[in-house]
Amino acid sequence: MSGFDFDVIQRSWGYLFREGMTFTLTLTALAMTGGIVFGTLLAMMRLSSIKPVAMLAGGYVNLMRSIPLVLVIFWFFFLVPYIGAWVIGAKEPIKVGAFWSAAITFTMFEAAYYCEIMRAGIQSIPRGQVWSGYALGLDYWQTMARIVLPQAFRNMLPVLLTQTIILFQDTSLVYVISATDFLGAAAKVANRDYRLVEMYSFVAVVYFVVSYGLSTLVRRLQERIAIVK
């Protein structure tokens, strides 16, 4: 066990956390927000009585869930410049940085997973709730926004948060497009100083502490919600 130099962590602390961890946490927060919003819309589409709408959403969700995240990251990394050019009407593909490419990728990918959670949440609400909404004169959107979704969201909160912890861990895969997230920053230092053992062990410990801490909180929340019910 001789020849290890754990000082490298102290020397690169600022870079690791101020650059790397900030990237990771911002990406997680953005993808969580976007993913839950888009995922909820997808869930409503999947449960729609209009067949083509339900099939479109179902096809999207099943496609996303059938291919590896790494492949999805590659897809969007190359596709986003073309979509951007198409949106603003440019002739050439536009330049998109690694961060925004990753933010779009994770929003679109996680939406498929959040969708399945929200779909189960919506289906767990008794039909009578919807009927009473309509009986009170509310329309579809009002019934959804005021009666069904708040309850569905509350019932599914622990699963949504667990999915977010997985999202937090999965953002480390932006390594494949050379983004400087927490792992990316650590990898750069590791290769520069040839301190792979020290850096990767440290990265594992940090991810473990954050994920384990968060999942303990989720478990507590789950117990509290279970009592209220």
Partner 1 sequence: MNYNWHWKVLLETEPGGSGTYLHYLIVGLGWTLATALAAWVIALAIGALVGTLRTTPLKWVVRLGNLYVEIFRNVPLIVQMFLWFFVVPELLPKGLGDWIKQMPPPWSSYLPAVLCLGIFTSVRVAEQVKAGIMSLPRGQRMAGIAMGLTETQTYRTVILPQAFRIILPPLTSEFMNVIKNSSVALTIGLLELTGRARAMQEFSFRVFEAFTAATVIYLLTNLIVVVLMRALEKKVRVPGLIAVAGAPQAGH
Element (H, E) at 98: helix 98-123
Residue 66 interacts with partner 1 (CB under 8 A): yes or no: yes
Residue 23 interacts with partner 1 (CB under 8 A): yes or no: no
Chain residues 80-99 in contact with partner 1, contact rule CB under 8 A: 82-83, 85-86, 91
DSSP string for residues in 128-196: HHHHHHHHTT--HHHHIIIIIHHHHHHHHHHHHHHHHHHHHHHGGGGGGGT--SHHHHHHHHHHHHT-H
Nearest to 185 by CA among 9, 32, 26, 31: 9
Q: Which stretch binds partner 1 (CB under 8 A): 29-37, 115-123, 125-133, 145-153?
A: 115-123
Q: By C-beta, is 29 or 120 nearer to partner 1?
A: 120
Residue 156 interacts with partner 1 (CB under 8 A): yes or no: yes
Indicate left, alpha or beta for 194 from its phi (over 0: left) and psi (-120 to 50: alpha).
left
Distance in angstroms (rounded) separating the CA atoms of residues 81 and 83: 6
Q: Smallest distance from the beta carbon of 160 to partner 1, in angstroms?
A: 8
Exactly one of 94, 176, 193, 222 binds partner 1 (CB under 8 A); which one? 176
Residue 125 interacts with partner 1 (CB under 8 A): yes or no: no
Report the interface residues with partner 1, using CB under 8 A.
1, 63, 66-71, 74-75, 78-79, 82-83, 85-86, 91, 113, 116-117, 120-121, 156, 159, 162-163, 165-167, 169-170, 172-173, 175-176, 183, 187, 196-197, 200-201, 203-204, 207-208, 211-212, 215
